[in-house]
Chain A
């Protein structure tokens, strides 16, 4: 199964030719790398910790390309599925991750909030951030 997924992601990446986006944390975070399954669990709020640290996933508000790419490549769900997931979660008492309205504020948020994890275009990644996953 995992092989299938791997092949799939390779295929997608090859279509995009090169990874444009990255999942990032603050430079000082102890987390070094996360695979897409783990990221999916985190952004679907199935998991809340990594290495004992409470995680704060942060979504970009709206339907910017970075978000849709993240959803289709990392979460591997379309908007309908994601919506269905959060509706079901609402009944379970689980809210979607917090949002920020701009990429810049996501960047700032990640830099300043302990455990914050989010996705940005690779071009925005600088010294303050650490890349965990590219897509």
Chain B
């Protein structure tokens, strides 16, 4: 089984290091920065494997395999394409089943136009520019293997539309995003919410190198069920803050979500998490996260505590262990992962 994974990983690496006789001797490759062929083509990708163990679940999976290509056509135009196979290989050790899913989906495909530092436009399928967690959605860039509930079901992770962004003229280090989607997603295979429309804005302020705050608000509509035609409209308000220095980082994000369906009442849900990381030695760190999630439709709010350890021999290679304590103790679990960005 491990060999299968290794082979898959090897294949992905090989795919990325496309072999051209002339290209092969180009200046050095550095892991995590992609392979830059020339200005208009840089290749890269990532993968992650995860092992999860709880009283009900024990599984090993190659949960992401992705390749990326991006580049600049000029100093104003650029593009990015990312193809990903989600749950490429899943071995359920509890039920002793195996499954694989290699056909890749379009994770991102967009074009950027840089008018100025104050006004840039990104069009296509992109990551919704909300919060911090959402914008670093891949395992290797995260501090923990798991994602907080905050990131999973409150806001559509992806946007197929237009995002106008830049530095706000109002003040130094204040950036803004105004985004709009008015269609279905480009590839609905692996997205958390499938909105028919979505719009909103986000603001972020950076104080020096260490501290950032931000927030966003928006509204999206989604169809519940394919045939009924029932739609719900959801509004959200979100705040986030982050502090970094050489040894510590602290992230806090919270969101309130109000969902209203035609002819039905309103449902409100709240999600908050606070996460701290302590890099006690150059490549090692300890992580702790507290999560709170409450859906008014469900009487009991959910609280989750996480303690984790992360080892990065180099930054784009990450080995992580964590233990989660859930309110319902049968949900407690151990999660570990190995992930690489190349």
Contacts and interface: CB of A to CB of B under 8 A. Distances in A.
Contacts of A56: 75
B117 A88 contact: no
Interface string B183-219: 0000000000000000000000001110100000000
Interface stretch (B8-16, B30-38, B151-159, B322-330): B30-38
B214 to A, nearest CB: 15
21 contacts: A1-B207, A1-B208, A4-B208, A37-B208, A40-B209, A47-B117, A47-B167, A54-B76, A76-B208, A81-B246, A83-B315, A87-B33, A87-B141, A87-B341, A90-B44, A90-B341, A91-B44, A91-B46, A91-B141, A93-B80, A95-B34
B42 A48 contact: no
B116 A91 contact: no
Nearest to A54: B75
B209 A48 contact: no
Interface of B: 32-34, 36, 42, 44, 46, 68, 70, 75-76, 78-80, 112, 114, 116-117, 136, 138, 141, 167, 172-173, 207-209, 211, 246, 282, 314-316, 341
Contacts of B316: 87
Nearest to A56: B75
Nearest to B209: A76
B33 A93 contact: no
A88 B136 contact: yes
Contacts of B314: 83
Interface of A: 1-2, 4-5, 37, 40, 47-49, 52, 54, 56, 76-78, 80-81, 83-84, 86-88, 90-91, 93, 95-96
Given A48-B75, A80-B282, A86-B33, A37 B172 contact: yes
